[in-house]
Amino acid sequence: MGRYFGTSGIRGKVGEFLTPELALRAGRALGEYLGGGEVAVGRDARVHGQAIASAVIAGLLSQGCRVVDVGVVCTPTLGCYVVEEGLDAGVMVTASHNPPEYNGIKFWNEDGMAFTPDQEREIEELMDGELSYPGWREFREAEGDGSAPRVHVERILEEVGADGEGLRVVVDCANGPSALVTPVVLREMGCEVITLNAHLDGHFPGRHPEPRPEHLEDLMRAVRSVGADLGIAHDGDADRVVFVTEEGEFAGYDEVLALVCRRILEEKGAGKVAVNVDASMVVDEVVRELGGEVVRTRVGDVYVAEAIKREGCVFGGEPNGTWIHPDVHLCPDGPLSAAWMVSLLVEEDRPLSELLEEVPRYPTLRESVECPEELKPRVMECVERRVREEYDRIDTVDGVRVELEDGWALVRPSGTEPLVRVTVEAESRERAEELRDEFVRLVRECLREVGG
């Protein structure tokens, strides 16, 4: 983690960590990094979005960039717009699923992929360095373009086709910009769409912007009461999507991911699929059955996107509902994923709950061990050494992941809290408990060994 950039761009409470001054600096640094160039700037519906975005825009203009202000949009709308318009970069002012007092700044490349940590380090250096201004003739005015949501809608329709006839869908937009895209796309596909929280409001009066099951009770109730075929919910900037079955039940993250992987591989023939180290072995099972290959990545959409590029994957995703469809762009796209799920239901002509039943489900257990920040690297070294003495199939792309015949275990330091997390999954509950106990014990022993 750098000085300004965390796990997902620059993120913090406005007026404390994130200020217009910092945003101005970030904008200038990006302009310098690009050497001028054409940049789209968008923001989610947060109350301080305009203040932060205006500062970013001022920074970009001050380095001689051409700036297109696309206003309030979904993060994937910005990614799509950058690609479709052939721009050099995008800036999204968003704090995704965080509470309303937060905001953030995230940079995007010309192919819709988030800036990598290496690129972010370069930006940080420029932010702290001495920046010069271009000649007075190089300054321009920002252009406004309100067409970005329409560009996104058209691109999604082109990708998934327009078949949604006869499906009744409830969409919970979290008072965020997904309201500008998802209901529009689904209606144009022929669905009957009922919306919840579809007015933009940065106070998030409808629900918490993180689409966890405990925040989606209204959606589950609405699906049941109107007899809908599907419930859809996004986070605050719509790079994520989650689903509720026709029975009003939250559809499990991993089962849905496996279902999508299966569908994509059936469509494309064999191929590689990128998922993070935390995704269920259900994905491996489904992908292997179809002759595909799973590429495991670090947790974070940028790592999934990098793996897709590097390995030529046909799809990538994380269990939290960020899915990347590389044919369109490399930004996780909630509205596109929602349209994709609708087309899957129409083609299968079976309810989601029934499709999910075909995907095996295994118990996953999680436990955390307290560990001071400064001891984390040594604890992880010890865990890796001890694990190598005992097991063969070890992946250290993010933490230490051990692959077993009947399950897996992952030991990973938390990026934000003084904790080391243990995640295990196994074919039976008893085996999962056994694995959890074994790996929690290992972390505790290592903690003692390094003097914790």
Told to judge if 178 belongs to the known catalytic residues of this protein, a careful annotator would answer no
Task: Quote the least distance from Cβ 7 to Mg ion, whole Å.
Answer: 12
Of 80 and 387, the one with the shorter C-beta distance to Mg ion is 80
Question: Angle, nearest 10°, between helix axes 281-289 and 253-268?
Answer: 20
Nearer to Mg ion (CB atom), residue 235 or residue 306: 235
Residue 332 CB, nearest approach to Mg ion (Å): 8
Q: Cα 75 to chain center, whole Å?
A: 10
Q: Which stretch binds Mg ion (CB under 5 A): 94-102, 262-270, 370-378, 443-451?
A: 94-102
Question: Toward Mg ion, which CB reaches closer, 179 or 379?
Answer: 179
The two three-digit tokens of residue 379, written as one number: 């604890």
- Residues 289-318, interacting with Mg ion (CB under 5 A): none
Tokens 């979904």 correspond to 74
- Measured from each CB, the residue nearest to Mg ion is 96
250 secondary structure, DSSP code: B
Q: Find the shortest distance in angstroms from Cβ 235 to Mg ion.
A: 4
Cβ burial of 74 (10 Å; 0-12, 13-18, 19+) is buried
Residue 72: CB partners within 8 Å, gap ≥ 6? 42, 43, 44, 45, 49, 177, 180, 200
Our CB check for Mg ion shows the closer of 235 and 278 to be 235
CB of 362 to Mg ion, least distance (A): 27
Choose the binding region for Mg ion from 41-49, 96-104, 142-150, 301-309 (rule: CB under 5 A): 96-104
Residue located via tokens 């058209």: 154
Of positions 96, 175, 197, 337, contacts Mg ion by CB under 5 A: 96
Q: Annotated catalytic residue: which of 8, 54, 62, 96?
A: 96
426: helix, coil or strand? strand
CB of 237 vs Mg ion, minimal distance in Å: 4
Strand, coil or helix: what is 108?
Answer: strand
- Which residues, 6 or more positions from 194, have their beta carbon under 8 angstroms from its beta carbon? 168, 169, 170, 171, 222, 226, 228
State which residue, 96 or 103, has the beta carbon closest to Mg ion: 96
How many residues contact Mg ion, by CB under 5 A?
4
The amino acid at 410: L
Site for Mg ion in 204-243 (CB under 5 A): 235, 237, 239
Catalytic annotation, residues? 96
Where on the chain is the footprint of Mg ion (CB under 5 A)?
96, 235, 237, 239
